[in-house]
Amino acid sequence: MSRFRYLALVLLVLAGCTPSDNASNSEDFTNVNARFQGNVSEIYGLVVSPSGPWSGIDVQWKDSTGVQRSLSGYYGKPILLSFWRSIPDTAAWQLPTLDSVQAIFGDSVRIVSIADPNLTNSYAGILNYITTKKIRQQIIVDSLERAHIQYAQTADGRIGWPETFVIKPSGRVMTYLEGYASITLLDSLVRAAYR
């Protein structure tokens, strides 16, 4: 067997043996089997594009009816994009604050929260938590932290929980906050994003 045929055979075997999570890579990820219910969805897609807005990162999910939605579909209004972990001593306590900001601004601000379940949690655990606590904003479960890693690279490269990115109506990241943010601070940042 020639070297070329041998190499081609090895590559085909390796390609067939590679585990798949329905993703091509972290820069163009699609999870076709993403679950969704109410305001909780697993991440459906993540597209990183240098030709997009400053962040160049578009997060996609399915709504409660299975229709694909995206962060870029929210451009035109300020967006609070919050990353949190599903264990009580990290970021889940930020969620009621984000709901309060949503209540203040109504439809003039979009809030999307991305959950990174810890090893003892899951999509079902997040769904139960959100339902029990009556959290109203859109929750996206991203167990591999693909979105958080991409957004962290637009900031200082560090991953923290909670971490909130304030996105201007144009889709450009205005600023980001590490740790808990008060209603007053988030209120002032949303108003500043309109300028």
Mean pLDDT for each 10-residue chunk of the chain (195 residues)? 40 36 56 95 91 80 96 96 77 85 96 83 86 92 92 88 93 92 96 94
DSSP assignment letter at 108: G
The verdict on residue 133 lying in a domain is yes
Pair of tokens at residue 169: 């109506």
Q: For residue 54, what pLDDT is reported?
A: 66
Note if the bond before 162 is cis, omega within 30 degrees.
yes
The verdict on residue 84 lying in a domain is yes
**Residue 79, helix vs strand vs coil:** strand
Nearest-angstrom CA–CA distance, 66 and 185: 34
- Per the CB < 8 A criterion, the answer to whether 61 and 147 are in contact is no
The verdict on residue 150 lying in a domain is yes
Q: For residue 125, what pLDDT is reported?
A: 87
Q: For residue 58, what pLDDT is reported?
A: 94
Range of the domain at 187: 24-193
**CATH code of 107's domain:** 3.40.30.10
Q: For residue 7, what pLDDT is reported?
A: 35
Nearest-angstrom CA–CA distance, 97 and 95: 5
Q: How many domains does the chain have?
A: 1
The verdict on residue 52 lying in a domain is yes
Q: For residue 4, what pLDDT is reported?
A: 39
The verdict on residue 12 lying in a domain is no
The verdict on residue 177 lying in a domain is yes
The verdict on residue 1 lying in a domain is no
The verdict on residue 81 lying in a domain is yes
